[in-house]
Amino acid sequence: MVRPRRLRTTPALRRMVAETRVAPAQLILPAFVVEDLDSPREISTLPGQFQHTTESIKRLAEEAAEAGIGGIDLFGVPSRKDEIGSEAWNPEGILNAGIAAVRDAVGDDLVVCADTCLDEFTSHGHCGALTDDGRVDNDATLPLYAAMAVSQARAGAHMVSPSGMMDGQVAVIREALDAEGFTDVSILAYSAKYASAFFGPFREAVACSLHGDRKAYQQDPANRREGMRETLLDLAEGADLVMVKPASHYLDVLADVAAQVDVPVAAYQVSGEYAMLEAAAAQGWIDRQRCILESLTSIARAGADVILSYWAVEAAGWLRADY
């Protein structure tokens, strides 16, 4: 009889024939650096994750490098916000200070990546400048992203990651980086990014002041083909890696992208994915470690080469023991 179960008999056999493996090197840890903070502060919507000072973020980055993960993706929370988010490209601004501190601590041992978006920096919480009637002005936002990306490269970022979903953002960032001599700084493009309610817990992490939603610039969760269209546009504009976000509820989009592009594909396991699982685990309703590992494996199985996850460092410890 044909018996597929034969290959499931022992742990060694199962490990040998596993089609998908997640390695620590594939993981990127998103992390938050906050201005005017005396000591790390736990984020209530993301238990186990912290807002960091420029000092504590260094230690986190060192820990991440020791754990063998691939990179760290930095988000900054400034004390001063304004209409256009001008702290974002201030060389001494909190995000650039965080990038410099982390780069100083880890050198090239970790890929230092920076979020290139204005929502943490604007008084209204939108990802770009607004028109007089309150809509996000795509073309007026592009030069702001370019200035932000260049300042991040100057602070020491290996990689910038535009996440604002403005049309044309990758092209202007590439052009600006090249013009300033940062030809080796790569662009991780948030290509298929959906207007997702699963970003909810993140909003506390970055003290976001948004009222309303981002549906006029982020994608409609109903649209699968459009994820491919956005991804191909980013590639044509010069993206070095592309990303699908969120991850778990968008594995179809991720599989499409992975099948059709020839660059590394990333997926972002977002705050809501983290919070849901942590909440259920805290109730004792699910096996926390197994669910975390299963979720990471499933994202990799769908086609992600790189996974952004708040569990990156913790999971790396388990994965190292595993392989």
Which positions are annotated as active-site residues?
193, 245
Q: Encoding tokens for residue 308? A: 């952004």
Q: How far is CA 316 from the centre of its chain?
A: 17
- Pick 21 or 215: Cβ nearer ligand PBG: 215
Q: How far is CA 9 from the centre of its chain?
A: 38
Binding residue for ligand PBG (CB under 6 A) from 106, 214, 248, 300?
214
Does 32 sit near ligand PBG (CB under 6 A)?
no
CA gap 165, 170 in Å, rounded: 10
Residue 111-130 contact track with ligand PBG, rule CB under 6 A, x = bound: ----x-x-x-----------
CA gap 70, 64 in Å, rounded: 8
Say if residues 277 and 248 touch (Cβ distance below 8 Å). no
Binding residue for ligand PBG (CB under 6 A) from 138, 151, 152, 163?
163
Residue indicated by tokens 């070095």: 240
Q: Which residues pair with 76 in a beta bridge?
A: 33
CA gap 191, 3 in Å, rounded: 42
- Binding-site size, ligand PBG (CB under 6 A): 9
Does 51 sit near ligand PBG (CB under 6 A)?
no
Residue 143's nearest CA partner among 176, 165, 100 is 176
- Pick 50 or 199: Cβ nearer ligand PBG: 199
- Pick 55 or 195: Cβ nearer ligand PBG: 195
Residues 220-249 that bind ligand PBG (CB under 6 A): none
Q: How far is the CB of 143 from ligand PBG (least distance, A)?
A: 18
Does 271 sit near ligand PBG (CB under 6 A)?
yes
Give the DSSP letter of residue 47: T
Footprint of ligand PBG on this chain (CB under 6 A)? 115, 117, 119, 163, 199, 202, 214, 270-271
